[in-house]
Amino acid sequence: MKKLRLFLYVFLPIGLFAQIPNASFENWTAVSTYSVPNSWGTLNNTYTVQTATKGTPGNPGNSYLKLTSRTYGSSVINGIAVSGVIDSVTKLPKSGFPFSQKPLSLTGKWQHMIFDTSQGSAKVYLTRWDNVNQVRVPVANGNLKLQGMAMNWQSFSIPLTYVDSNAPDSCIIYFEASGPYPGNNDYLWIDDLSFSGVYTGVSETNIDNLIKILPNPTTDNLRISFVKEFGSSLLIKLYDVSGKIVYEDKIKNASPTLNYQIDVKSFTKGFYTIEIINEQQVVSRKLVLE
C-alpha cells in the first residue's frame, strides 16, 4: 500500500525565536534627508520619494515600519521591505539573514489599507545551500495576501509549509503594501515580528490508517472518512495551485461514523492541496480535480 507523508507539528509555548534582525523596527539610521530601518532593505535610496518611513509609537515599543506606495513620475512605486538586501531593479529580495531554526509560523502586528484594487502581501522564505549540487534550495515558505482593511493594529500569523526535512541556513521576509498594480497611498504598517512554534519534521506513515480521501482524481464530490477518532475539533482547508484557500470548514467529533463530503463540481479543474488539521497534526495531500 502506498505511503504518503503526514506532517506532524508540535506547538511549544517556548518556541519563540528572536533571530529576526530589528524585528520591532526600533533601530533606524539617518541617510541624507531620510531614514532606513536597520537590517532591512527598502527602495528609499532608489527613488526621491520614501516608501518606507518610521511610524510612532510602536505596538509595542517606540516605532514601527510604515510602507506606503507613492506616485513617482507617471507610475506608482510599491512600498516594499525585505529582511536583508533588495534588488533595486527587480524590486525582489537578493539575500536574507542567517537562520537555522524550523518555526511553524511568522507572527506580528499590522495595519493596512488600499486605495485601488491591488492587495499587498507578506511572504517568508527559508532556504539552504546544497553543497552537492551547488545551488540554493527551498526548505519552507509562507505567503499571506492582505484581505480588506485593517484600520487598527491586528495580529497576523503566516504558516510555513515545509518541502525539505533539512534545516535552513537563510531566511527572507518580504512585505509589500500593494500587489502588481500599486495604488497611490496604499499602505502596510508592521511591528512586533517573531517566529513561533517548532516544526519537528516529516515522518512516513500510511495515511489510510487515519484518514481516507476518495476519489482522487475526482470530478464532483470528495469524500473524507476516518478509520478512528481523529480529534474533537477539526479544520479542513482546500488550496488551489496558487496557494489560495478555496474551501474551509470546521467540524467536530471526527469519528468513523462521520461521512464528510465536499462538492467540488464548481471548482476549476486542476491540482489542489487539502489539509486536515486537528489539535496535534496536519495531514496534507495533493488532489486532482478533473
Per-residue pLDDT tens digits for 143-190: 999 989 999 999 998 989 887 888 999 999 999 999 999 999 999 999
Q: Is 143 exposed, middle or buried (0-12, 13-18, 19+ CB in 10 A)?
A: middle
Flag the least confident range among 161-175, 191-205, 248-262: 191-205
CA-based nearest residue to 110, from 188, 53, 168: 188
Most confident residue range from 3-17, 176-190, 261-275: 176-190
Beta carbons of 59 and 158 less than 8 angstroms apart: no
Q: What is the CA radius of gyration of the chain?
A: 21
Please give the distance of CA 240 from its chain centroid, rounded to a whole number.
Answer: 15
What gap in Å lies between CA 173 and CA 187, rounded to an integer? Answer: 17
Flag the least confident range among 45-54, 67-76, 115-124, 265-274: 265-274
Average pLDDT of the chain, as a whole number: 84
Give residue 285's pLDDT.
76
Give residue 224's pLDDT.
84
Q: Is the pLDDT of residue 17 over 60?
A: no
Give residue 12's pLDDT.
33
Instruction: Work out the pLDDT band at 253, boundaries 50, 70, 90.
Output: confident
pLDDT, mean of residues 206-227: 77
Give residue 270's pLDDT.
86
pLDDT, mean of residues 104-124: 93
Question: Where is pLDDT greater, at 5 or 229?
Answer: 229
Domains of the chain and any CATH numbers: 10-201 (2.60.120.890), 206-289 (2.60.40.3080)
Q: Is the pLDDT of residue 206 over 80?
A: no
Flag the least confident range among 31-35, 118-122, 284-288: 284-288
What letters, b where the CB count within 10 A reaches 16 and e where it falls short, cover 186-225? bbbbbbbbbbbbbbeeeeeeebeebbebeeeebeeebebb
Q: Is the pLDDT of residue 191 over 90?
A: yes
